[in-house]
Structure 1
């Protein structure tokens, strides 16, 4: 199990519980549980200027290379999606080794 899977599960439980405003922020809870991560957030959109949709993105990157992320409409009209986990991105060397495995 990757760190991002653990984090996504905990963060989604926290969000669904609808913690009270006085509670600690959920990212602080991850740090207290010794889940170390790098936080990145921002907006993404299409290069096409006619595209009017843009998304806000939050991404947590963990030492094992896994990531937890969630998205929301950039206009603030929607809430955030649930957190989802992504496995570490494979390097070309790893992908090449996997693609050329003889299974016969």
Structure 2
């Protein structure tokens, strides 16, 4: 199991059990679990095409190469999607 798999399980359970906007409390939860990661939020959209409501993407990058991702859109009444884990890319042998 990769770090992102464990984090996604914890984060998705945390979101379901938390009824209020918990801010960045979920990041503290991961730190308490001794997971080492880098956190990043990015807006994605095409302003040139008149997209005035870009997506917000939140990513976690773990030391083992795995990643976790969730997306939010102003059109999504539920707020954020569930977290999704991505395994590291396979290393090609030379």
TM score, norm. by length of structure 1: 0.73
User: Hey, what does 2:39 align to over in structure 1?
Assistant: 39
Distance 1:38 1:88 in 2: 15
Which has more radius of gyration? 1
TM alignment of 1:5-84, pairs within 5 A: 5-18=5-18, 25-46=25-46, 49-50=48-49, 52=51, 54-73=54-73, 75=74, 78=77, 79-84=79-84
Distance 1:84 1:21 in 2: 20
Moved over 3 A (4+): 19-22, 75-78
* Structure 1 vs Structure 2 CA RMSD: 2.5
- Count of paired positions: 90
Distance 1:29 1:19 in 2: 16
Distance 1:65 1:34 in 2: 16
**Unaligned segments of structure 2, at least 5 residues:** none
